[in-house]
Structure 1
Amino acid sequence: MPDINSFGTPYASDMFQKALLRRLTRTGLILCWGMSLHAQDLLLGADLSYVNEMEDCGVIYQEGNEAKDLYSIFADHGCALARYRLWHNPSWYDQLNQGKRYSDLPDVMKSIRRAKDYGMQVLLDFQLSDFWADPSRQWAPEAWADIVNNLPVLEDSLYNYIRETLLQLDASGLLPEMVQIGNETNRDILMATGVNAPWQLDWSRNAPLFNTAIRAVREISAETGEEIRIALHIAGPQNVEWYMDGFISHGVTDFDIIGLSYYWPYHKPVTIAETGQVISRLRQHYSDKEVMILETGCIWTTSSHDQAVNVLNEIAPGYTPSSPEEQARWMIDLTREVYRQGGTGVIYWEPDWVSSGCRTYWAQGSHYENAAFFDFDNNLLVDGGIKFFNYTTSSVRVTDDIPNGFTITFQQRQCIFRSNNLPFDASYSYQVVDPLGRILQSGSLNSLNGTSYEKTVSLPGVVPGWVTCILLHRQQVIATNLHWIGL
C-alpha cells in the first residue's frame, strides 16, 4: 500500500490462463507448445481488502445509480484476481468505530469466499505484522515482541503461523492461488515495534526468515496437491533490481513472482516506459521468474470528500488534468507496457476505498477516495480506471501453416468464432474449458450455426464462472479467450 507513515505512529493486496494452458499441455490438447502462443496470459486484479469494512460502514456501491454487489461489479468488468492483506492481530481496530476487526483471518476468509464465488483467483498478502507494513515500517506482531532477536524461535513462530493459516484456509476450501511473503519489504522484516530507523537490511537474518516462510508454503502446497505461487514484493521500480539481486545472492531463490509497487507520486520520476524497462531486465536476468505489479493506483480527481488526507494527490505529466478518463488511460498504458515487456499481471490497490462515516487510525473517511473507481456518491466511474480490466492481449498464435485473423468474442451466453481470411472447414474444432482444464463442450465448427466465416457456440449448460473458449486447427490451439459467465 502507499506509505502512510507521515500520518503518525500508531502505538505510543498468468495466471488462470497459464495454469490452464499448462494443464492442456499435459493432457495432450496442445501439440506444439514450443511454438509461439500468445494466450490471454495477463492477470488483472484489485486489492479488495476494504470491501467488508466499507459495507459495514454503510457504503452502498452502485453502477448506473443502482445498488450492486461490488464483487459483481468487478467480475462483470473483468477483474480476475482479488488481493487481500492479512494482519496477525490488528487489535488497534478495537478502538475504532464499532470495535470490529478487519484484515484478520476471519475477515480475510469471508473475503476469499466472496472472491471465489465470483470465479476470481486470490493473492494472500502476509503482512507479517499487526499494522501496516511498508518501506517505512516492518514491525513484528506484538505476540512475537520478545523473540525478534532470537532468530531460531522467530523462525519457528513464522513457520507455524504461515502453515496454520494455510491449513485453516484449506479446511474451508479457501486456499489462495498465490501468496506474498511480506508487503513492500524494502527493509528487514519482523522488526521490533517502533523501529523505523535507521534503515537496515541484514541478510543473515532476513534470508532465513524468508526461506522459512517459503518452506511453509511449499509444504502446504505439496500436502494439499494445490499449486500456490509465491511472490516477493518490493516498493518502487528503481529499487527492485538490486533487492532481487540481494535475495538471490543470499539464497532466497525458491519463489515464483517478482512483485513491485508503482505509484507515480511515490516513485517519480520513474515513468511507465522506464518501469517497463525494469521489467524487461528482470525477465532477462531472472528468466524463471514472473514479474507483476502487485500494487498501483492513479487519481481521478485532486478533490477530497472528507477530512482524511489523501495519500495520492498527483498524476503523471501527460495525463493532466486528472479525470476518470485520464485515470483509465494511465492504467491502460501501464498495463500495455507491463505486458509488452514480459510482465504477467497488474493489481490496482483498493479501488473500493470510498469515503464513509467510519474512521481510519488517523482520521474519519478515506485516504484514497480520489483514486477509487467510484465517484463521491459511490457510483461506478464507468469511464475510469475500471476500464483497465478490459485490456486484452492478442490471443492468436501464428504459425507458418495456420493463417492469422481469428477472433473469439462473447455475447451473453454465446461464444462467437470469426475468421477474417479463410472459411472454417472440417479441420477446425472448438472446446469450452473450465478453470481446472475440464472440457465442458467440444465439437467441430462445421456442426455449429452460422456462416462459413462465423460460428456461434451456445453455452446453456455452463454454470456461472470463468470459462475459456478455444479454437483449434488440426488439434493445435490457435486462439483462446477467457470470459466470465454470470447468473
Structure 2
Amino acid sequence: MKKYFIILPSLLIMALVFTSCKTKRTSKEGSFSKGADVGWLPQMEATGYQFYDADGSEKDCLQLLKDRGINTLRLRVWVNPNNDKASGHCSPQETVVMAVRAQKMGMRIMIDFHYSDSWADPGKQNKPAAWANHSFPELLNDVYKHTFDVLTLLKKAGVTPEWVQIGNEIPSGMLWPEGHTDNFPQLAQLLNKGYEATKAIDPKIKVIVHLDEGNKNEKFRWFFDKATELNVKYDVIGLSYYPFWLKTDYKENIADLENNLKDMASRYNKEVMVVEVGGDYTLEQNTKEMLYATIKAVKNVPDNKGLGVIYWEPQGEKSWSGYQLNAWLENGKPSPALDAFKN
C-alpha cells in the first residue's frame, strides 16, 4: 500500500497553542471512563480512509465514537518514530494535535508513553535509537525529560491529560536491558522518574502502571508486590484484557478479571482501569457482550475504584490495518459492538 506522510509543521503546533483554550481538564472528571485508543487515526485519514455513520453519511471518526458513548481518548507517544503507516507516527507533535482535537470535542485524555521509537509491549521494549548507548543515569534523565517535554507541549497547547501511563504493558519491564524486571530496582527508578516528571507538570494527573493479561492475578501480585517493596510511585493499576489472545471465550475468564481488579484495588489501595480491551470484529455480538461484561467487572470494584474501560483501536478497520480486534465494518461504519459503551 502506498505510504503517505503526515507533515505537521511547527506553525500548525503554534496555531493550536494560540487558538486552544486555557489549560484545563474536560468535564465529567470522576465519572466512568469509556474510551478508545486511536493512534492509527491520523494515518487513516491521511491515506484517505473515510468514516460513515449507520445512515451512510460521512462523519468525523471521533464524532462517531462520541455518539456511541466514548468520552475518553488514549494516545500513544513514541520518541522519534518513522513514517511507516503501521509502526510509525505517534510523535509528540502529532500527539499534541490529536489531543487538542479530542479535547475540543469534550473528551478526556490519557497519554501512553512507550519510551521507544515504535511498539513497546511484553515481547519487546526497545530503547529509542537516540538513547541506545546511554548509561543508566542518562536513561533516568531521558525518561524524565521526554515525559516532561511532551507534557509541556500538551500544556502549552491547552491540554493537561487526566491520566499518564508510564510504560506500555511492562510485565518484564521497559527500556531493556537496563529496565528489565531482572533488575527491578532499576525499573523502579525509571518508573519513578516518569511519575516525578508527570507530577511536576500537574500533581493532579493520575499516573498509571500497565500490565497485560488482566485476568492473571498471580502475575499482577508478583509485579506490584515488587513495586511496593521498591517504593514505585503510581496512582492507578492499568490492565489489558484480550480473551482472543488467550484463545478462550470471555465467559471462561471474565470472573478472573473481576477478581483481579478487586484484589488490586484492595491489596494496594489503588484505583484500577482496563486500559486496553478488544474482540474479534467478525463476532459482533460476542464482542458486544464481552464489552458489557468488562464494563460491569470494572464497575463492580468497590468504592468507585474502577475507573473505566478503553477499547484499543476500534476504528482500525481490517482492510486498512490488518488488525483482527478492531470494531469497525468493511463499509467504514462502526460495529454494533461499540453500542456497549452507550449505556
| TM class by smaller structure | 0.7 to 0.9
* Greater percentage in strand: 1
**Alpha-carbon distance change, 327 to 265 in structure 1, aligned in 2, over 3 angstroms:** closer
Q: Paired residue for 2:227?
A: 247
Q: Paired residue for 2:342?
A: 390
CA contact (8 A) 2:27 2:106 kept: no
For residue 164 of structure 2, give the secondary structure of its aligned residue in structure 1. Answer: strand
2:139 & 2:114 partners in 1: Cα distance?
Answer: 15
Bigger radius of gyration: 1
Q: CA deviation at 1:341?
A: 2.7
**Does residue 274 of structure 1 match 2:256?**
yes
After superposition, the C-alpha distances for 1:365-399 in whole angstroms (9 at most, x for unaligned) are 4232x432221111223xx22112113xxxxxxxx
CA contact (8 A) 1:240 1:260 kept: no
1:298 & 1:374 partners in 2: Cα distance?
Answer: 11
**Does residue 300 of structure 1 match 2:286?**
no
TM alignment of 1:105-184, pairs within 5 A:
105-147=92-134, 150-184=135-169
* Greater percentage in helix: 2
**Does residue 367 of structure 1 match 2:322?**
yes
Number of equivalent positions: 308
1:143 & 1:43 partners in 2: Cα distance?
Answer: 35
Kindly, what percent of the aligned residue pairs are identical?
29
2:141 & 2:260 partners in 1: Cα distance?
Answer: 35
Q: CA deviation at 1:264?
A: 0.6
CA contact (8 A) 1:112 1:174 kept: yes
1:373 & 1:100 partners in 2: Cα distance?
Answer: 20
CA contact (8 A) 2:281 2:328 kept: no
**Alpha-carbon distance change, 18 to 66 in structure 1, aligned in 2, over 3 angstroms:** closer
Q: Paired residue for 2:295?
A: 335
Which TM-score applies when normalising by structure 1? 0.60
2:293 & 2:88 partners in 1: Cα distance?
Answer: 37
For residue 230 of structure 1, give the secondary structure of its aligned residue in structure 2. Answer: strand
Q: CA deviation at 1:159?
A: 1.1
Q: Paired residue for 2:60?
A: 69
Q: Paired residue for 2:242?
A: 263
For residue 66 of structure 1, give the secondary structure of its aligned residue in structure 2. Answer: coil
Backbone CA RMSD of aligned residues:
2.2
1:186 & 1:372 partners in 2: Cα distance?
Answer: 24
1:160 & 1:246 partners in 2: Cα distance?
Answer: 25
Q: CA deviation at 1:300?
A: 2.9
Which TM-score applies when normalising by structure 2? 0.84
Q: CA deviation at 1:100?
A: 11
1:292 & 1:16 partners in 2: Cα distance?
Answer: 19
Q: Paired residue for 1:347?
A: 310
For residue 265 of structure 1, give the secondary structure of its aligned residue in structure 2. Answer: coil
2:300 & 2:114 partners in 1: Cα distance?
Answer: 30
**Alpha-carbon distance change, 66 to 234 in structure 1, aligned in 2, over 3 angstroms:** same
